[in-house]
Structure 1
Amino acid sequence: MTFRRRDILAGGAASVAALSAPTVLRAQQPTVIRMGALKLIHSIAPHFYERFTPAGYRVEVIPLESPTEGKNAVVTKSVDFGMFGIAAATLGAAAREPIVVIASACNKGMAVVAGKDSPIKSIKDLKDKRVAIWPGSTQEVFILERLRMEGMSVRDIQPVRVSFSEMHLALARGDIDAYVGAEPGPGVSLAAGIGKIVEYPYSTPMGALNMIFGAHRDTLASRPDLTRVVLGIHRRASDFAMANRAEMVAMAVAKLGQKKEAIEASADNVELTWRFGETEIEQSKTYAQHMLDLKQIKQLPDFTNFFDTRFVSEMRPA
């Protein structure tokens, strides 16, 4: 009888412990930050976040296929923050979606590429040539502006609709004479001995503007402390990757599945960054005006709500 009572008491204690355990475990769970990142070297910084994440937080990197998917993930709150092209962000803002640019993610990362043995040596040499361009992309806006600067327009070339992932293969097959691509495409063409760089199109008033760090307007209003935490992580990860090229290349090879030679060729054409100030705002406004002129958007974004640089400004003194 004594044994049985002791057994029952032990079982009861175990039950109480089991019931209370989940509460303790829940209290110890870290805050998860869902970070959307494209499968490009431009978005490699989030894969370094883990080593710079403070105690009490965990970053979950959500891989996304396209800039539009990245922007939509932020708008629908499928992710808390995301990296994608300024083109996608501007399209959303012009449609009055609650997308806000709070920092930079990557500058550069573009190139005009022609066949290795091609006579094409400059933008002017693209006249009458078959040039692969992805409609609605950041690269499209840049190449059209470069053509204008050379006294040309899209009517002077033969634009061919080709996705970024297919541009290298199309050039290798001879389906096109040149392409306006995004890394690591140009790096792949260089490493394979298929292509050569005609130009890195950064001489326009838009500079090397490319990818931004975006958030939903509600997130900034309801979770400003979380925003500060993730941007602090982003800053340290971006600075680390830029200062440690070999580690950036190794991470890109591991996450993107590209050959090291291609990533090596791409790395010099990528600037991971977090800074977003007056210069970047003016470049973004110029970019938006080009999109309006090209009828890619029906109206300019409400710039007052489109940019929020207060979080980056707070980090600068550090």
Structure 2
Amino acid sequence: MMDQWLKQKKALWMLAIVFLLWMGSGCDAHSGKEDKGSASSQKGEASEVIRIGYQKYGTLNMLKARGDLEKRLKKLGYTVQWSLFPGGPQLLEAMNAGSLDFGHTGEAPPVFAQAAGTPLLYVATTPPNPAAEAILVPKNSPIRTIADLKGKKVALNKGSNVHYLLVQALEKAGLKLSDIQPVYLPPADARAAFEQGSVDAWVIWDPFYAAAEQGGKARVIADGQGLAANREFFFASRSFAEKHADVVNIILEELKKVDRWASNDPKGVAAFLAPELGIDEQALETAAKRRTYNIEPVTDEVVAQQQQIADQFFQLGLLPKKIDVKEAVWREGK
């Protein structure tokens, strides 16, 4: 009996020693990971992922396809995670949810996002591209002017650049948004509805606009010229811009390089992006030719234009509250 008791006691001691060794090993491993994380933060946060949202077409899409940003940031210990969105409103919703660090949209989405409390900062813009968005009707439609849209179903992406274009076009024709039947759909669904005859008109931007033209089934009754500037804006989440101003500047520098290439070679842009986007090369070339490429600062003049858009949406009852656009403009170091 004594021998058996001693054996049991010895076994219990062995189990206790194994347990203590395991606990010690586990704690050391956990501490090592945290220390490693802290060290990487001090050396450029080697394990950090830069989350970028993009849409089909645009400079960010080209930057993704080229892979230049990944190469540059990899040297600093960063990796890049790209996420595709059907439109600007959806992209900024993701930023509001904390899922994105950087992205791009047109003029209208950030106005709605700022009103909703999205912690975004305007970090750069592009020259106006009013000819790159339009109001389309089927080729054989009896609709000839904006005034003819009264009572008609018009497809558009809610809260996007084309939402503002439509508001402006209707106002110029003496109509209100309530005089038509807006059908809010993302581009792919809107195109299907347009081609099936479920809607009477479609307000859309390039390259979807160019692709619809290319198919020969659409006719333009108005584009953005004289109605909407159609700028592209680049955004960073407020927390990301405050912590990583250097990375924001690197992204903007790489975008400028892409713009220089795109400005000089619209045919090359089309050939490069066609496989990436699954859009006809000729349509992409058309879109590239009617776009002006450059990265510009968000000046007081640009802020004033954005404020005008925000105020108009508020007056129409589409914005829940008044906003001050300049509060969302990045001033590096401030």
Taking structure 2 as the reference length, the TM-score comes to 0.74
CA–CA separation in structure 1 for the residues paired with 2:157 and 2:165 = 12
Give the conservation status (yes or no) of the 8 Å contact 1:101–1:306: yes
Residue identity opposite 1:166 in structure 2: D
How big is the shift at 1:173?
2.1
Structure 2 residue 229 is the aligned partner of structure 1 residue 212: no
How far did residue 228 of structure 1 move?
1.7
* Matching residue within 82, 89, 93 for 1:62: 82
Counterpart in 2 of 1:47? Answer: 64
Answering whether residue 175 of structure 2 is matched by residue 152 of structure 1, we say yes
| Deviation of the 1:30 alpha carbon | 9.4
How many Å apart are 1:45 and its aligned residue?
3.5
- 5 Å-filtered alignment, 1:85-234, equals 85-104=106-125, 107-108=128-129, 109-204=132-227, 206-209=228-231, 211-234=232-255
The gaps in structure 2 that reach 5 residues or longer are 1-35
Pick the aligned partner of 1:288 from 310, 325, 330: 310
Q: Distance in 1 between matches of 2:178 and 2:49?
A: 49
Given candidates 254, 273, 276, the residue that maps to 1:252 is 273
Higher RCO (C-alpha under 8 Å, 6+ residues apart): 1
- Which residue number in structure 2 is paired with residue 314 of structure 1? none
The TM-score normalised by the length of structure 1 is 0.77
Greater shift after overlay, 178-187 or 114-123? 114-123
Alignment partner, residue 7 of structure 1: none
Q: CA–CA distance in 2 between the matches of 1:67 and 1:96?
A: 16
Residues 156, 202 of structure 2: 8 Å contact kept = yes
Q: CA RMSD in A?
A: 2.9
CA contact (8 A) 1:113 1:199 kept: yes
**Partners of 1:110 and 1:200 within 8 A in 2:** yes
CA distance in structure 2 between the partners assigned to 1:68 and 1:168 by the alignment: 18
Change (3 A) 1:159 1:224: closer
| Greater Cα radius of gyration, structure 1 or 2 | 2
Equivalent in the alignment of 1:299:
321
Aligned counterpart in structure 2 of residue 34 of structure 1, from 51, 54, 57:
51
Query: Displacement, 1:78?
Result: 3.0
The question of whether the paired residues in 2 share the 8 Å contact of 1:49 and 1:233 is answered with no
Contact 1:168 1:186 in 2 (8 A): no
C-alpha distance in 2, partners of 1:199/1:115? Answer: 13
CA–CA separation in structure 2 for the residues paired with 1:190 and 1:235: 29
User: Deviations for 1:217-270, whole angstroms, at most 9, x for unmatched residues?
Assistant: 222222222222221112222232222212221232122111223323333344
Residue 112 of structure 1 contacts residue 179 of structure 1 at CA under 8 Å; is this kept in 2?
yes
